[in-house]
Amino acid sequence: MKKLVYFLDDEIFLGEIFQEYFETENIDIGVFNHPKEAIEACISNPPDIMLIDYRLPEMTGLEVAQFIDDKIIKILMTGDFVVPVNDLFKLTINKPYKLEDLKSIILGEDIYN
């Protein structure tokens, strides 16, 4: 079954790179630049995984995660060295990250357990 992955980052080019990188995989990708759009999409069509940037316009990634169903696996992406520990996220990834590492996480089985 195809996985649905959402990517929320206000840097538009990162979303484009992410989407292009994963287009050959058996994954449906949704890219969002605004928190409210991503939250609405999660309500209407929940993904398997959501990657959320920490620093976003209007709210932080931590605040976004509070609006997202607990059944959705959430991964926090951050360039900040100190991020509050939060049990809303299954994993935190430091920026800059390698797309190969994200691929291993998304396609691997460990994240789904």
What top-level class would CATH report for the domain 3-112?
Answer: alpha beta
For residue 33, what pLDDT band results from cuts at 50, 70 and 90?
very high
The predicted structure's pLDDT at residue 73: 96
Domain map of the chain by residue range?
3-112
Contact predicate 88/66, CB 8 Å? yes
The predicted structure's pLDDT at residue 86: 72
The predicted structure's pLDDT at residue 85: 63
The pLDDT of residue 52 is above 80: yes
The predicted structure's pLDDT at residue 84: 64
Contact predicate 69/53, CB 8 Å? no
Say what the pTM is: 0.91
* Mean pLDDT within 24-31: 92
CA 46/CA 79 separation, integer angstroms: 26
